[in-house]
Amino acid sequence: MARTGSTTLALPPFDGATRRIVLLCLSVFFAQALLSWVLTAPLFALIFGHLALVPRDLLRGQIWQPLTYAFMPLGLLGEFLTLIFFWFLGAMLEEERGSRWLYEMFFTAAIGGALLASVISFTHVLNLSETDIGFGPYAGIYGLLIAVLIWMPEREFLIFFIIRLKAKYFVIIYLLIDTARLLLHAAPFDALVNLSGALCGFLFLKYVPRRGLTYALSERYFSLRNEYYRSKRRRAAKKFEVYMRSQNREVHFDKNGKYVDPDENPTDKRWMN
């Protein structure tokens, strides 16, 4: 639990992108519980295997896995603790940057971490294999942790509402634990996915504008669109100049295709007669 002033046990707001992601994870959890009760064990394992992250299957065309794996449950206790953690963390960052930013950071870290870890797994370094399985939202959560580390390193967390720890130490401990898991071959693929998510979160913060990726892409789109229309206007202006010369009249346009009044009188339209 984060704090900025006196210690408080108040819960953070449960709304916006944070609530939607938590509810989606809960929906998948209960759907999995229902399917595990209805379906046979082999059929349930088959469905789970297609939704979790398996680098070999990803290469074979199951391109939805870098998204679906992030919502696969971690078990009852693991899912409960993870969603509580995400609730506090997501609400804190969403209050700072908004819902759109939280969506973009979470999915960039989750999907980017899955893709990067899958590529590395084919090298077989550190006991990794392309048949390893990954699932759970921690790659996306690690992206959010990197944002906390960079933006608010001095903010304090109350671990289990008892232990007070600054955010920078809290995040570094998480990163060191997964680094140790990777080097000691203790569920190395899971650790690699988490660390890859952290790296993607860092790259998102470094290269994506403050207003988010959607805003940057929309700005780029409208910039290209406007340049296209300006180029059409310039071409039309040149054609019109040629036409007017054929009528023994001189008109001039600037480099942007705007009419240049020779008398510096914007209301003078005698050349149109």
Question: Could you read off the pLDDT of 11-66 as tens digits, one per residue?
Answer: 788 899 999 999 999 999 999 889 888 888 888 888 888 999 999 999 999 999 99
Q: Are 55 and 132 in contact (CB under 8 A)?
A: yes
Least confident span in 45-59, 227-241, 258-272: 258-272
Mind listing the pLDDT tens digit for each residue in 156-215? 877 766 778 888 999 999 999 999 999 998 899 999 999 999 999 999 999 887 666 666
The tokens for 231 are 């180029």
- The residue ranking higher by pLDDT, 268 or 50, is 50
3-class secondary structure, 13: coil
Scanning 162-212, the segments in alpha helix (DSSP H) are: 167-183, 188-207
Share of the chain above pLDDT 90, in %: 51
Query: % helix / strand / coil in the chain, to the nearest 5?
Result: 65, 5, 25
- The residue ranking higher by pLDDT, 188 or 222, is 188
CATH number 1.20.1540.10 is the correct assignment for the domain at 2-208: yes
3-class secondary structure, 8: coil
- Residue 117 in this model has a pLDDT that exceeds 70: yes
Give start-end residues of each CATH 1.20.1540.10 domain in the chain: 2-208
The number of residues in the chain equals: 273
* Rounded Cα distance, 94 and 24, in Å: 17
Sign of CA dihedral 163, 169, 175, 181: negative
Q: Are strands 163-166 and 156-159 parallel, antiparallel or unpaired?
A: antiparallel
* Rounded Cα distance, 57 and 154, in Å: 42
| H or E stretch covering 19 | helix 16-38
User: What is each CA distance from 243 to 232, 233, 247, in whole angstroms?
Assistant: 17, 15, 7
Q: Are strands 259-260 and 163-166 parallel, antiparallel or unpaired?
A: unpaired
As a dihedral over the C-alpha atoms of residue 136, residue 140, residue 146, residue 147, rounded to 10 degrees, the angle is -140
Task: Indicate the pLDDT class of residue 8, thresholds 50, 70 and 90.
Answer: very low
Q: Residue 4's pLDDT is what?
A: 46
Least confident span in 8-12, 116-120, 177-181, 225-229: 8-12
Show Cβ contacts of residue 141 under 8 Å, excluding neighbours closer than 6 positions.
82, 85, 86, 89, 106, 109, 197
Any idea which residue has 């090298």 for tokens? 123
pTM (2 d.p.): 0.78
The tokens for 53 are 């992250």
DSSP one-letter code for 192? H
